[in-house]
A = this chain, B = another copy of it.
Amino acid sequence: MSTPDARAPGPADVVALLQRALGERVDTDPAVLRSVRADKSGHAAAGTPLAVVHAASVTDVQETLRIASATGTPVVTRGAGTGLAGGANAGAGEIALSVRRMDRILDIRPDDLVAVVEPGIINADLNAALLPHGLWWAPDPASRAISTVGGNIATGAGGLLCAKYGVVRDAVLGVDVVLADGRLLHLGRGTVKGVTGLDLTALMIGSEGTLGVIVGATLKLRRVVPGETRTLAATFARVGDAARASAAVTAAGLQPAVMELMDAAALAAVHDLLALPAPTHGAVQLTVQTDGPAADEEARAIAEVLRTRGGTVVVAVDAAEGERLLAIRRSLHPAMERLGTTLIEDVCVPRSALPAMFDEIARIERERDLRIPTVAHAGDGNLHPNFIFDVAPGPDGVVEVPAAIWEAADELFRAALRLGGTLTGEHGVGVLKRRWLADELGEDQWRLQREITAVFDPAGILNPGKVFAPAAP
């Protein structure tokens, strides 16, 4: 019964429709198409997307989604592409919808501690603009110099400061969202309190492009913390000692701004990179920063707790030395890159289970003859084990993670779940963890979540295959 006019639109039709509606904001440059297949995880989608739409306005996003809905074309929303789970990777037959150019700050309201922004603004750029007002937006993923606020929201990003200053879900009051059919919704509000109806703002945070496209956000700001920070580093002979010492800091009622634990392999690799004297064999390091009016006093109290627990403590005499101590932690990723190719993992366990989780990582290393240098946000039980392997990235930086590494990661995830933890503390599920999602959620909850996505996106065109594996568990 089909006629030429009624045939399903082909890829060329979709691109033509996009070009007619959006002109030169539709990009089909092969190099650009290749670039949006991958993110910072090294994973790349199969095939090449139809087009990249560089949306410059809410209307552009709405136009794109109307065309996608009318033609049944999948849409992968993308910011700066700094994700670590493959959640924004666009492949064959898909439209990559970039909101990176929607990067304006629409309003800063110091009296209300609120900013209204477009999603494509870089986290660090926003904070640079807030600083003259004495304000900041607290979420500080390690990628903050290159990642967008919209991406931070879509992944529910964390960072180093979360234990004291919260995660993204604590710092967003409302989001504007374009649904799959092109309708624009304003979710949440501009007030710090509010309980009208279901909290759809919270539902959008961490939804990784499966519910709608975030085109604006009302952010909850903080005042810049007054005074100087204070930094100290403590070395311990064993990682378990350091983990228990960090728990003792929290148990003493002390709240550092930063508390990072680097295991022996991570510490040795960074020392090597920075041409510092090699640390004592097996030594691990806990780096702590305090801030606020009581920074000095808290640093002294924390140093005391760590010494009591067997740590060798150095307290930075000034901010410059403090920066040098923190630089060791910040050099982790370049140091890992020198060891080989890396799968950066991201599990989170109850703080008290941190020593046990380090034991599990050591066991996996031993049993599988692997190197898994690990750093942890010790204040909140979030670990980043780095699985090192020697398969070089292919063209465009795409990495094929060997099956043996995924098997080891599988053991890691199961250990985290056994310890009462979670698959991902702050990086998201994307494609890389979708096969484990039902293990954590349970099948009933997995199905319920899937049905909720269908309410937002009945045709399933928003980031299909991300977060939720195509086949039900």
Contact = CB atoms under 8 A, between A and B. Distances in A.
A128 B421 CA distance: 28
Given A381-B193, A425-B191, A467-B197, A109 B350 contact: yes
B424 A196 contact: yes
Given A194-B422, A195-B424, 20 more contacts: A111-B350, A113-B250, A113-B351, A158-B193, A179-B448, A185-B442, A189-B421, A191-B381, A191-B425, A196-B440, A197-B437, A197-B441, A197-B468, A198-B452, A199-B203, A200-B203, A223-B253, A294-B294, A448-B455, A452-B455
Interface residues on A, range: 35 or more
A13 to B, nearest CB: 29
Given A202-B199, A421-B189, A194 B348 contact: yes
A114 interface: yes
Contacts of A349: 191
A200 B445 contact: yes
A119 B186 CA distance: 32
Nearest to A428: B195
Nearest to A350: B112
Interface stretch (A163-171, A303-311, A336-344): A163-171
20 contacts: A111-B352, A155-B195, A156-B195, A158-B193, A162-B192, A162-B193, A169-B202, A170-B170, A191-B422, A193-B425, A194-B348, A194-B422, A195-B422, A196-B437, A196-B440, A197-B429, A197-B449, A198-B206, A452-B455, A455-B455
A293 interface: yes
A393 interface: no
Nearest to A252: B223
Nearest to A177: B445
Contacts of A250: 111, 113
A63 interface: no
Contacts of A467: 197
A409 interface: no
A192 B247 contact: no
A455 B444 contact: no
The quantity of this chain's copies bound in the complex is 2
Interface in A434-454: 437, 440-442, 444-446, 448-449, 451-453
A352 B211 CA distance: 33
Interface centre among A110, A112, A421 (most CB of B within 10 A): A112
A183 B196 CA distance: 27
A82 interface: no
A7 to B, nearest CB: 32
A334 interface: no
A96 interface: no
A429 B190 CA distance: 18
A134 interface: yes
A441 B381 CA distance: 37
A350 B114 contact: yes
B203 A203 contact: yes
A199 B428 CA distance: 12
Nearest to A244: B111
B193 A251 contact: no
A171 B352 CA distance: 19
Nearest to A453: B198
B193 A444 contact: no
A30 to B, nearest CB: 33
- Nearest 3 Cβ contacts at the A-B interface: A202-B202, A156-B195, A194-B422
A205 interface: yes
A456 B448 contact: yes
B185 A445 contact: yes
A449 B206 CA distance: 18
A378 B420 CA distance: 39
A429 B196 CA distance: 6
Nearest to A189: B422
